[in-house]
């Protein structure tokens, strides 16, 4: 018998995957890789130790060799993820091979070299000397056997169940290959899109790094390479994972204003973004679409806009992950439009292209270099109906009430106790009851209670405040100050302490001075055969911040709907229309001002 040690993310999952392999005698969950003695699950999971969730594999070498065991291990992980495994994030969920001797180290390194040669991608599995192994608590041992239903649910919801061959991205299904080959060159945007969604890029708001997750660099590097291939100059994927590329003006058009197009690379951390398995639905019949074996159904009952997509081609998920159309569709459409324009020889001014990280956690513009980008005007290409262009966002602020109570024995509390939790409830009751996200739409603003916690001694309320109208936005913030004053007048100064922080402003304030951006976009849509209209954004975009950073930047739709979850879907005809809109805008700005 021989014993070897590995870290493959969630030990429940990797134990179940390897247990039952011919020659494997036992697989035990535990902790390894750190220096702390006797670690416990709660500390390892919370990243409070240097340990990873790990497994001890005892096996019969006469049946399965170490090299074959390595094959099984790598077939059940995502070896390209440096930040964790599937939905589980953090160092304790990163992967490692713990070698006991030089033979094991060399075997692991050969395996990794082979995968890198096959895929052209950097493997992120650590190869480290074995130090110690601490068996996990009893409840974690043989979890897959003791709790088979929970185990299956964990596999499904984590995205691990459909991992194919351990290589994130896998291969296109015959259905997808047949579809894209049948349609030919006109499907370049779709081909790019289907390739990009296979690359996991979830951002991670739990840290202050840029990019917040290193896996975004995988797509960033690929996009930079594509920019170079289609003829961009001065291409860079910088230290913060911002990708920039530039196409110089054709002769005679050097004086045209430089026009930029921007999309973001990250997907939302709200739902699993790993091992995306897109499916093509041709000639959609207007009814329910079963999303793989997940039990989920994409239905017009929940998404009424689907009724208008009858007869079109949809790209959907298998129900276990988001699709990633927000905003990999934008990246695919921008690159395809510029590629086709350059190949056609059409004249144009300078074109600036950028792809950003961390938009989904509100930090996409944090490190954006407007001066380096060099565009006079730009459009973000980011999600939504392709017939809609957006130039009006919310004004946004975050508001926090800290409530300080006075705690005495309940039996002697008459006219003395100030229960902070009750005061917090009173504060919330002083806000307009019908001005919440549930009760508002369109241009209507709201107060949204995001978090509430407290006890008798202290309480905390966290709100976001939103309104399209500058005047109403200021009135909303003023109302919060009035509430603070009334509470302090009633209970004593310092009972309520309000902090309000502005987050972003309605970019309409900037765009109204450059309204040609809206007019030209609507004209380009109509010329493409679309019913063009404007739509207020009930949120913010990177374009909001970029506009106030000196780069006027409204948003174009991409043909992607129901973002951030398993029901996300793209409409192929709208993606192709987006490509045409972008090309027509480049043409319009090549002669702008002449």
Catalytic residue list = 266, 359
How many helices (H) and strands (E) in the chain? 17, 26
Residue 448 sits in a domain whose CATH number is 3.30.70.360
168 inside domain: no
Same domain, 199 and 345: yes
Same domain, 353 and 422: no
Same domain, 138 and 211: no
CA–CA dist 2, 24 (Å, integer): 10
Q: Which residue has the tokens 């070897």?
A: 4
- Tokens encoding 325: 């159309």
346 inside domain: yes
Q: Which residue has the tokens 């916690």?
A: 453
CA 578 from chain centre, in angstroms, equals 21
**Among 319, 221, 211, CA closest to 267:** 211
Residue-wise DSSP of 290-354: E-TTSS-EE-TTT-GGGGGGTTS-EEE--SSS---HHHHHHHHHHHHHHHHHHHHT-----EEEE
123 inside domain: yes
166 inside domain: no
Domain region containing 446:
396-504
Same domain, 482 and 514: no
Ranges of residues in the chain with a pLDDT under 70 are: 158-159, 161-186, 594
Same domain, 226 and 329: yes
Q: Give me the number of domains the chain comprises.
A: 3
Helices 420-429, 470-491: inter-axial angle, 10-degree rounding: 140
* Alpha-carbon separation of residue 39 from 250, 459, 572 (angstroms): 63, 33, 51
**Among 58, 10, 57, 54, CA closest to 32:** 54
Cross-sheet strand order for the sheet of 496-504 = 446-454, 458-467, 395-404, 496-504
- Tokens encoding 318: 């298998």
Q: What is the DSSP letter of 251?
A: T
Residue 132 sits in a domain whose CATH number is 3.30.1060.10
CA 237 from chain centre, in angstroms, equals 19
Same domain, 143 and 199: no
DSSP SS3 for 150: helix
83 inside domain: yes
Please, which residues bridge with residue 1 across strands?
none
DSSP SS3 for 267: strand
Contact (CB, 8 A) for 111 and 71:
yes
CA–CA dist 74, 68 (Å, integer): 10
Residue-wise DSSP of 17-54: HHTT-TTEEEEEEEEESSS-SS--HHHHHTT-SS-EEE
**Residue 594: partners with Cβ closer than 8 Å, 6 or more residues away:** none
**Cα–Cα–Cα angle for 7, 275, 194, rounded to 5 degrees:** 145
Contact (CB, 8 A) for 353 and 227:
yes
For 63-86, write each residue's pLDDT tens digit: 899 998 998 999 889 999 888 888
Same domain, 273 and 364: yes
Q: Which of 504, 526, 543 is the last residue of a domain?
A: 504
Same domain, 386 and 427: no
Residue 246 sits in a domain whose CATH number is 3.40.630.10
Same domain, 110 and 239: no
Contact (CB, 8 A) for 416 and 410:
no
239 inside domain: yes
CA–CA dist 386, 309 (Å, integer): 12
- Tokens encoding 392: 């009006």
262 inside domain: yes
Spell out the SS3 assignment of 84-107.
Answer: EECCEECHHHCEEEEECCHHHHHH
Q: Which residue has the tokens 């990163």?
A: 94
Q: What is the DSSP letter of 481?
A: H
Cα dihedral 8→12→17→21 (10° resolution): 100
Neighbours of 168 (CB within 10 A): 23
- Tokens encoding 315: 């790209």
| pLDDT score, position 470 | 93
For 135-179, write each residue's pLDDT tens digit: 999 999 999 898 888 888 777 776 676 554 444 444 455 556 566
Q: Which of 452, 483, 504 is the last residue of a domain?
A: 504
447 inside domain: yes
Same domain, 485 and 570: no
Same domain, 149 and 36: yes
Phi, psi of 4 (to 5 degrees): -135, 160
CA 392 from chain centre, in angstroms, equals 23
Helices 174-183, 188-196: inter-axial angle, 10-degree rounding: 160
Same domain, 383 and 426: no
- Tokens encoding 102: 């030089």
């Amino acid at each position: 018998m021989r014993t070897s040690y590995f870290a493959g993310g969630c030990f429940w999952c990797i134990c179940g995957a390897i247990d039952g392999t011919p020659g494997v005698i036992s697989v035990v969950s535990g902790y390894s890789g750190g220096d702390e003695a006797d670690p416990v699950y709660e500390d390892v999971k919370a990243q409070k130790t240097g340990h990873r969730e790990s497994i001890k594999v005892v096996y019969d070498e006469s049946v399965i060799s170490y090299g074959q065991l390595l094959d099984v291990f790598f077939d059940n992980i995502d070896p390209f993820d440096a930040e964790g495994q599937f939905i589980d994030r953090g160092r304790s969920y990163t992967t490692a091979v713990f070698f006991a001797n030089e033979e094991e180290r060399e075997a692991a390194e050969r395996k990794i070299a082979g995968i890198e040669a096959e895929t052209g991608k950097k493997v992120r599995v650590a190869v480290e000397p074995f130090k110690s192994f601490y068996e996990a608590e009893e409840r974690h041992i043989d979890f897959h056997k003791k709790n088979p239903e929970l185990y299956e649910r964990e596999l499904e919801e984590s995205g691990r169940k459909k991992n194919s061959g351990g290589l994130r991205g896998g291969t296109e299904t015959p259905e997808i290959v047949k579809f894209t080959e049948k349609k030919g060159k006109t499907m370049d945007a779709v081909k790019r899109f289907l390739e990009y969604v296979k690359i996991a890029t979830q951002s991670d708001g739990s840290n202050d790094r840029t990019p917040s997750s290193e896996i975004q660099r995988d797509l960033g590097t690929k996009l930079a390479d594509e920019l170079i291939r289609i003829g961009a100059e001065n291409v860079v994927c910088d230290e913060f994972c911002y990708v920039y590329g530039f196409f110089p003006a054709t002769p005679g058009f050097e004086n045209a204003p430089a026009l930029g197009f921007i999309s973001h690379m990250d997907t939302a951390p709200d739902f699993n973004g790993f091992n995306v398995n897109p499916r093509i639905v041709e000639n959609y019949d207007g009814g329910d679409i079963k999303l793989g074996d997940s039990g989920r159904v994409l239905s017009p009952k929940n998404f009424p806009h689907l009724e208008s997509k009858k007869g079109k081609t949809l790209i959907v998920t298998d129900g276990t992950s988001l699709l990633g159309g927000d905003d990999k569709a934008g990246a695919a459409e921008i690159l395809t439009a510029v590629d086709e324009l350059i190949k056609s020889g059409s004249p144009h001014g300078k074109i600036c292209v950028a792809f950003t990280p961390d938009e989904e956690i509100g930090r996409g513009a944090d490190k954006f270099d407007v001066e380096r980008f060099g565009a006079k005007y730009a459009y973000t290409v980011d999600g939504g109906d392709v017939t809609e262009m957006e130039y009006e966002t919310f004004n946004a602020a975050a508001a926090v009430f800290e409530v300080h109570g006075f705690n005495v024995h309940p039996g002697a509390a008459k006219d003395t106790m100030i229960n902070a939790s009750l005061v917090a409830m009173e504060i919330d009751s002083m806000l307009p009851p019908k001005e919440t996200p549930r009760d508002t739409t369109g241009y209507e603003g709201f107060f949204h209670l995001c978090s509430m916690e407290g006890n008798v001694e202290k309480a905390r309320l966290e709100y976001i405040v939103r309104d399209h109208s500058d005047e109403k936005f200021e009135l909303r913030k003023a109302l919060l100050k009035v509430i603070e004053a009334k509470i302090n007048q009633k209970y004593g100064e310092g009972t309520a302490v309000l902090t309000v922080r502005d987050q972003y402003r309605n970019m309409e304030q900037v765009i109204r001075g450059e309204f040609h951006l809206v007019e030209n976009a609507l004209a380009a849509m109509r010329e493409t055969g679309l019913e063009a209209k404007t739509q207020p954004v009930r949120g913010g975009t990177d374009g909001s911040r970029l506009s106030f950073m000196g780069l006027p930047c409204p948003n174009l739709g991409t043909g992607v709907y129901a973002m951030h979850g398993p029901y996300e879907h793209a409409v192929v005809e709208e993606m192709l229309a987006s490509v045409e809109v972008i090309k027509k805008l480049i043409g319009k700005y090549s002669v702008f001002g002449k």
